[in-house]
Structure formats: structure tokens, C-alpha cells
Structure 1
């Protein structure tokens, strides 16, 4: 079994797993983590700053390093937090191991369509059901099975209610219609990837079922538009409680989304 060992600061796989940005990442019984991204499977073990990636050096360098955004210095972002902002300083300290993953655009579109009026455990279950039924079966290094994320073409010509079998509920028609618009060429994912944040967000808002929060989540977690600042119930409550005059986005211009993740994680874990 091939493995890559790295010493990483500002990286905590448990925090990333619980940060609400990725739904195909899970903690295993031996405290390692399984991550499925596109058609790849990774097992990761972390002890303090030492991380063991079960993959080859080439795969690590060409895929997982970018996926985990390992070339970015997150200490620089945390260092710009105002020391007078005790709330954000605490949130960043608690979630300092979070990194914004560079995930697949199509997978994030579907994931955050499913996320509406939903919670993380159920979103993960829905996506697992979807992958088992419509993805491709693969084997990982120990011979166990996993499933790739289904391509738009695999979902595009289903009945709009078909994905209710995967527990998507009313979101089934959102996913099927969006898959159809992509498979038939009405929407180009490659074109969206090439656009700056505001224009990409505008194109995403044209897709059936996508509102402002979902569009911002997709921009942040797939397109790596770090200025995107998704506002859901957790964030709205935090802003009302701690930033009655509005969050100081101008101070964190260009990386507001990282601050959003610290706040989201702090609020989510504080409510457990």
C-alpha cells in the first residue's frame, strides 16, 4: 500500500469533515477518515500535525494537494482578524484546521441542491444513496467497494420524481432538471468555471432550484471563490447576535468565505 507522509499546520481533517462543505467524507472505526472525490478514494490518518495519506506521491501531488488546498497559507488569513473581534478570534481558533476544499462543480451543485431544508447527516445519506444507485462501482486499495458520483447524463433522463427513492424528496426534480440542462448543453460547467465570482453566481442562480445561499456555497466550495459568503440559519443568527451593524466584509475582502466557515463551524459545534 502506497502512502505519503506530511507535516501540516492549520489542517485538521476532523474539523474539515464537520465543516458542512463536503458530504463524502467519513470517520472510520479506527479514527482514520475515508474521502471520496470524483472517482477517487483516499484514506487519511492524522496524529497532531502528522498526516498519512494512503495514495501514491503522483496522485497526492496532482490531485489531493489541490483538493485540500495545501499550498495556501491559512495562518495569513487568521492573522488578519481584528484582535478586538473576540467572537471571530475564538471561532477561528476553534476551527483553525479548516481549509476550503477544491471540489467538483457538478457534485457541489447536486450536494447543495439536496442540502436545502436538510441537515448534514441526512444530506450524506441522500448522496450515498444517489451514488450507489446511479454511480459506478469501484474498489479501493483494500478491495472494499465505493461508488463514483453520478454524471449529469446518468440522471438527466430520469422521471423528475425518480430520486425520491434516494430520499431526496421534493429536491428530486431540482437535481433531474439541472442534470438535463447540463447534459443537453443548455448550461456549460466549463464556462461557469471560467467566470469571476459575481458572474458565476449569476449563472448558477439561473439553474432550477438554486437560490442565493446555495449559489454561494457552490461558488465557495467548488469554484474556490473565497469572497462568497453563504448565509444560512446558523450564519444569520450569528450575524444578528454579534454583528448587528453587519459583518465587516471589507476587512476580509477576498477571503470572507474563510471567515464564514469559522463562524459556521463554531455555531454548528456549539449547538451539539
Structure 2
């Protein structure tokens, strides 16, 4: 196991922030996340976190995955002191970090996320993994399923994933898997592109629009200038940023601010504090 002290790191907030759909609470202070073919349990008590994995696995996967080397206080300090709304949002979700997740998994997950809510997205992805993923046993003895590789899903028909409750999104995931396997889309190349070019390539995928492309850029490629706009963010912009979000002030960290706003809109008491 590995024990770390981390400021601005809150597992509950990360779990509920809408960026990761394979993370769950297993007991009061313990969370489990499945990523990169591994299952990890983490116990959090205040700023102390116990990662139940080897030091090698922690350094190889989880330190980077949770973006633990980044000083998020520096982002919070950049917030305009006159922007009471964003200050409140950052205070409310100050334990959120932008995860560094698998590109293919994020493409498929955010295709599934369209016109969907978080609980249902989680269930759809669970169904997908249990049906087409590989069964494995975690270090704690739990059974889990890996996220299915594109090769597995490329063999399917357009509507086959409706059995996993994906509905009309089934064809989006299947066709995207086919385009990746055929070489029409090169994920390795996308990983090395700057934000604007990566987004342009992602928009070529069947079913990927502006919001989904930005989610993939932010949560898989760690392009922090991506600012996904869904209904929650759109409502916040209309109410608090009628002239548009001040991108210039937050250049290179817009995605961090987006997560503070999204989480605040989803879970916060903003209605009372910002009437």
C-alpha cells in the first residue's frame, strides 16, 4: 500500500464530478476505481489517502491518473477576487482534480453520455464491461471487468449494444470502434496533437459533437483549455457570464474552472447564495 498526504484531493468530489464513470464508493471513506485494466481501492481520512496497491503500480498508473503532482491551489489563486460565483464554486469543489484517463474509454463513455444522466451512464458502461470486457480479480479479491477493447466492439452490428441499454448510442460506439480498428482514426496520433488539432480529429468520429470532443480532450488528453458546455454549464453561463466565460483570464486552465462550475451546479447550494 501507499500512503499520501494531498491537499485539494477529495475522492467523493472526483467521483461525483461527471468525468469518471467507473469509480464508486464502497464504504464511508473508501472508493474503488477501475482504469487501465486495474482495480484500485483508496481509503481517505482527511488529507491522508491510502492507496491499496504496490508502490510500483502507484507510480506507474495512479499518481499520474489522479494528477497528484499538480498544485491545484495555484489554479484557485488565479480566480478573479471579484467573481463571487466562481470563488464559491471552487471552494465547494476544491478537492476535484482533472483525471488522466484512457482515450478510447473516454471516447466510448462520452458517446454514451449524450442525453443521459450520470447514474444511467454508469449502468450502461457497467453493462458494456460485464458483457464485452475481460473478467479479472482485484487485489482485494473483488471481481471486476475491464473496459472492452475497440477490436471487440468492432465485430458487432450497429444495434447490438442496445442490449446493454445504450439505445441509439449503440451505433455511435460500434461505428467509432470500427473506424479505430480499421486505422481510419489513429488514437496514438491524436494523443500527441495539440488541443485544437486533437479536437478537430475527434469531431470526425461518428456521433462526436463539440461537447463530447471537449470532454474527451479534457478528461483523456488533459488539454486543460477545453471547456465542455452542457446544459448545466450553459445555464451557469447565461446566469453569471452573460458576456461569455472569461477565457483569456483563465487561459490554459479553463477546464479546471469548468469542473468547479459543473460540480457546483450539480451538487451545490448556489441557488441560495447567488440569487
CA–CA distance in structure 2, aligned partners of residues 63 and 116 of structure 1: 28
CA–CA distance in structure 1, aligned partners of residues 55 and 142 of structure 2: 22
Q: TM-score, normalised by structure 1?
A: 0.98
1:177 pairs with 175, 178, 185, which one? 175
What value does the CA root-mean-square deviation take over the aligned residues? 1.0
The reply to whether residue 68 of structure 1 matches residue 73 of structure 2 is no
Q: Which runs of 5+ in 2 are unaligned?
A: 271-275
By how many angstroms is 1:195 displaced? 0.4
CA–CA distance in structure 2, aligned partners of residues 232 and 143 of structure 1: 38
Q: Where does residue 159 of structure 2 map in the other structure?
A: 161
Secondary structure, counterpart of 2:257 in structure 1? helix
Question: How has the CA–CA distance of structure 1 residues 66 and 56 changed in structure 2, closer, same or farther, with 3 Å as cutoff?
Answer: same
Q: TM-score, normalised by structure 2?
A: 0.97
CA–CA distance in structure 2, aligned partners of residues 117 and 270 of structure 1: 22
Q: Where does residue 261 of structure 2 map in the other structure?
A: 263
Secondary structure, counterpart of 1:169 in structure 2? coil
CA–CA distance in structure 1, aligned partners of residues 231 and 251 of structure 2: 23
CA–CA distance in structure 2, aligned partners of residues 255 and 123 of structure 1: 26
The reply to whether residue 53 of structure 1 matches residue 51 of structure 2 is yes
CA–CA distance in structure 2, aligned partners of residues 148 and 70 of structure 1: 24
Between the two proteins, the alignment pairs up a number of residues equal to 270
Residue deviations 1:178-206 (CA, integer Å, cap 9, x gap): 00000111111000001000000000000
CA–CA distance in structure 2, aligned partners of residues 13 and 142 of structure 1: 19
By how many angstroms is 1:62 displaced? 1.3
Q: Where does residue 196 of structure 2 map in the other structure?
A: 198
Q: Where does residue 125 of structure 2 map in the other structure?
A: 127
By how many angstroms is 1:30 displaced? 4.5
Q: Where does residue 273 of structure 2 map in the other structure?
A: none
